[in-house]
Every structure is written in C-alpha cells, then in structure tokens.
Structure 1
Amino acid sequence: MKKIVLLITAICLTSETFGQKTSSSSVDEYECIYEYQMKNDKGSSDVTSTILQIGRNSAIFSDYTAFQADSAIACKAPKSEIQKFKTREKRNDLLFDQSVSQNVPKGKLTVYSVITPNYYSYTESANPINWNLSEGIDTICGYTCQKAVGEYGGRTWTVWYSTDIPASFGPWKLCGLPGLVLAAKDSEGIHKFKAITFRKSSTPMNFKPYTNTIKTSREQFVKAKNKFEQNPMGNIPAESISEMTIQKYEDGGHSALVNGVVLRVRPNGYVPLELK
C-alpha cells in the first residue's frame, strides 16, 4: 500500500469551534483533508491524499499534492520551495487528477481534468445525486454522522455526513446533503474517501486550476478518459504531439511530459470512479 505523506499534523477541530466560526460576520473558510483509497486491478490498494476547501457558498475538491504546489505559489514562497512542491506534483503517480468546483457557477459543478496532452472542463448540476437518507450513526473525525445512499456514474455510494458542519459539500462530487460528507464508499468497496483532518483555512481558494481548457460534456469526457487510461502511452494521437520531454531526477526517477503536460502512467492500473 503506497501512501503520500501529509506534511501537516492531522488534528480534528471540534464541532463547537465550527459553530462559533460560522456565526462570525467574516467570510470563513475551512479545509477537510480526505484519505482516498482505491482498490486496484492487482488486488492491492493505492492510497493518496485529497483536500476539500470550503467557503460559505462554494467549495473546491482537488489532490493534496497539487494543492500544496498552488499554496506555495499563492503564498509567494521562495522559488526553491515552489519548485520542490511542483516536482512532487509531477512525480505523484497516484495524483487525483480531477479538480471539482462545487456550486461554481451557482447551481453547477465545474470539473477540470486532463487527458494528456490536453486539459478539459465541463459542468453539470451542483446536486447530481438523489440521496436516500438511511438509518445509521457513526463518528468520523470527532463528528456524529448520519448515513445516506445514492447512485451516480454507474456506482452506488454510501456516505456519512455531519449536520454539525452545516455545509452541503463533500469529497469529489458527493455533495448536496444537509451537512459535510466526511466519509464515502461505493458498494463494491473499490473507492473510499475518509476525512482525517478538518481545520480553519489559511489559503485562498483557486477556482480555475488549469488554463486553456477544452470545454466538453461530462458524458464525452468520461468515455474518452476511461478509454485513454487503459493505455496512456498508446492512446495519444501521434499528430497531437509537438514536444515530448523526459525530466530526470537525482534519485534515478523521471517524469514524462507531452506538450508540457505530465503523462502519468498508473503503476497498478486505473479504476474509474465513473463507469458511465
């Protein structure tokens, strides 16, 4: 099991603290960090870290490594530090390569992702799942959670949400409930999200992670993405390649870039979140 180590202390805030903050007249922003676990085709599990940045009326879900790189730039860190984080992002072969802006624009989800050598974006309803509230209580990250079940993208999802955190957001696209979703898994146990940290944010949200995106529909993107990931090296049209670069590192590792975009080959295969 491979893990991306967080460079933070995983300390959960209390629900009382959140309640006090949301009563403030200032614009409060929070962060929820989730461990994302995917059971791969080789029978083992890949684990990485993701983050949900939560504002008063919107949220952004993305890979934690990419978030660190963006935060270093936003905080005007030294160039050496920025480069360190950007290199880590390039070399993360388990990178969660979707960034989902929830309720941006209002009433919509905006998804940014990549099919090398291009970046893509599409929008869909901000509440794509019809949730069925179920009996059951659990405690996650110190918060009492309730259960809900819904279908999306060919998978059935069970989630745990907490009304102690009155934000209708969650990991990836698993949102639209009367409280923050703190854990989720599909019925086959292939994909799992679980909150490990909830804290006050000190970094502004970035609603557009990629520039020059190709706008498409969700249906077209999911079909093309799932096909591409079956054989990333072989599914890039030769005529689309204007430049290919191999960056080598001191430890012997390397990154491949096509037209400046990372070509990420998953070491244990790719299991899509959305089947259709």
Structure 2
Amino acid sequence: MIEHTLGTDEFSEYDLLQSLVLKLSGTDRQEWQLTGSSRQENGLQLQEARTAWGGRNWTAWFTADIPFQEGPHKFHGLPGLITRLEDSEGHYTFSLIKSENRKSTYQHIHITAMKASSVATDRRQYEKTKQTYYDSPVSFLRSTKRNSGADFFLNDGTVVSQNNTREINERLRKEVHTFNNPIERNRAISYKE
C-alpha cells in the first residue's frame, strides 16, 4: 500500500511480509515530458507524457479535464488525472476503470490496523529484513510469533508445522523469486543464496 502526502513528493510504502508490516518513507518524483500527442477516449481529451523512473520507461495518458494530479502507485505531478500508464516492456499497465467524486473518505479497518502495526524502517534495514525472510521464511515467521514452537497459519490458510517446514520454506522462497519484479525495478532486491 502506498500513502502520499498531497502537495509533496513524500510517500510511505507499507509492505506486508506475512504478519509483519514494514513501513518505508521517502520522496519520489517523476520528470515528465509532454510528447504533444493527444486523443479522445470515453469523452475525455487525453494527452501523452513520458518519463524514465524507477528503472523503467513509462508512457502515461492523462486528462486535464480532471485536475487531479495523482496517479497509480507513486506517479504524480501531471496537470491532470492519469487514465492509462504502462511501462515500455509491458510488465505493468494501469487503466482507469471508474472515477467518482466521494463526499467523504472511507477508512478501512484493516488498512488502519495495518498502518498502526507497521514497523518504520530505512532502506538498508528493509533489504536486510527481506533477505532474512528469504534465507528461512519459516524461521523468520516463527520469530514474529509469541509461541515460536507452535504450529501457525500463513495468510493463505496453510498450516505450518515442524513436519512441513522444509516444503513451506521452498514454496515461500520460490514465491519471492516469482514476484521479484517490482514497479520500481531499480529497488529490486538481489537475494543472496
């Protein structure tokens, strides 16, 4: 989850590592280049912009008809709402499906709890924590539990016991590799074997 302080380049990023929530805070900004290309779509006048950010090249279509300068993830700063954003390799595509004007903000109980239980960390400690998890996911997760010798459940409902530790470690390490393609590729962690 990403939280942006409006009107600034300040962001807080919450990363759920099974039951542990890590909070990374920092600044991020894109340097947009307007290409001059435009098109009509769904009754909106769109303009094209490009940026190189996060280790990827991005193309955005935005509309000044809706002067909301936020976009998906940490993308912001264009003079209108981003309706489509994609990287040049086709790994990521964001498309606006619906936009509505809400009278009030909605506070989701799980998001509020996640933020309250988060552990603030810097980039170095974040990478160290992720590496420790990768080295032995089950040992890492047991260390976050009160009764570290007891069986416990993963977020997907899988029971972790002394009998399946090796299998679960292999599965979780494979998941780390499978999903190690972050939006900000320049911040991908190079896990050490």
Same fold (TM over 0.5): yes
Residue equivalent to 1:117: 19
- Extract unaligned runs of 5+ from structure 2: 146-150, 161-171, 188-193
Q: 1:148 to 1:105 in 2, by over 3 A?
A: closer
- Taking structure 2 as the reference length, what is the TM-score of the superposition? 0.67
Q: Which amino acid aligns with 2:59?
A: T
> For the aligned residues, what is the CA RMSD?
3.6
Q: Is 1:136–2:37 an aligned residue pair? A: yes
State the Cα distance separating 1:255 from its structure 2 match: 2.2
Q: Which amino acid aligns with 1:240?
A: S
- Taking structure 1 as the reference length, what is the TM-score of the superposition? 0.49
Structure 1 or 2: larger helix share? Answer: 2
Residue equivalent to 2:89: 188
Q: Which amino acid aligns with 1:198?
A: S
Residue equivalent to 1:213: 118
- Which of 1 and 2 has higher RCO (CA within 8 Å, sep 6+)? 1
Give the Cα separation in 1 of the matches to 2:30 and 2:123: 14
State the Cα distance separating 1:218 from its structure 2 match: 4.8
Q: What does 1:208-247 correspond to in 2, within 5 Å? A: 209=112, 210=114, 211-218=116-123, 221=126, 234-238=136-140, 239-242=142-145, 244-245=152-153
State the Cα distance separating 1:103 from its structure 2 match: 1.9
Q: 1:106 to 1:137 in 2, by over 3 A?
A: closer
SS at match of 2:117: coil
- Extract unaligned runs of 5+ from structure 1: 1-98, 248-253, 259-263
Give the Cα separation in 1 of the matches to 2:36 and 2:88: 17
Larger Rg: 2
State the Cα distance separating 1:246 from its structure 2 match: 6.1
Q: Paired residues, what number?
A: 164
Residue equivalent to 1:5: none
Give the Cα separation in 1 of the matches to 2:44 and 2:132: 39
Give the Cα separation in 2 of the matches to 1:228 and 1:193: 32
Give the Cα separation in 1 of the matches to 2:124 and 2:32: 21
Q: What does 1:31-46 correspond to in 2, within 5 Å? A: none
Give the Cα separation in 1 of the matches to 2:7 and 2:125: 21
SS at match of 1:255: coil
Q: Which amino acid aligns with 2:152?
A: M
Give the Cα separation in 1 of the matches to 2:6 and 2:123: 16
Q: Which amino acid aligns with 1:170?
A: G
Which sits farther off after the overlay, 164-173 or 138-147?
138-147
Alpha-carbon contact 2:37-2:47 (below 8 Å) kept: yes
| Among 35, 38, 62, the residue aligned to 1:161 | 62
Identity of matched residues, %:
23
State the Cα distance separating 1:159 from its structure 2 match: 1.0
Residue equivalent to 2:168: none
Q: What does 1:13-92 correspond to in 2, within 5 Å? A: none
Structure 1 or 2: larger strand share? Answer: 1
| Among 172, 182, 188, the residue aligned to 1:272 | 182
State the Cα distance separating 1:124 from its structure 2 match: 2.0
Give the Cα separation in 1 of the matches to 2:4 and 2:13: 9
State the Cα distance separating 1:150 from its structure 2 match: 1.3
Q: Is 1:150–2:51 an aligned residue pair? A: yes
> C-alpha offsets along residues 40-78 of structure 1, whole Å, 9 cap, x if unaligned?
xxxxxxxxxxxxxxxxxxxxxxxxxxxxxxxxxxxxxxx
State the Cα distance separating 1:151 from its structure 2 match: 2.1
Q: Which amino acid aligns with 2:78?
A: L
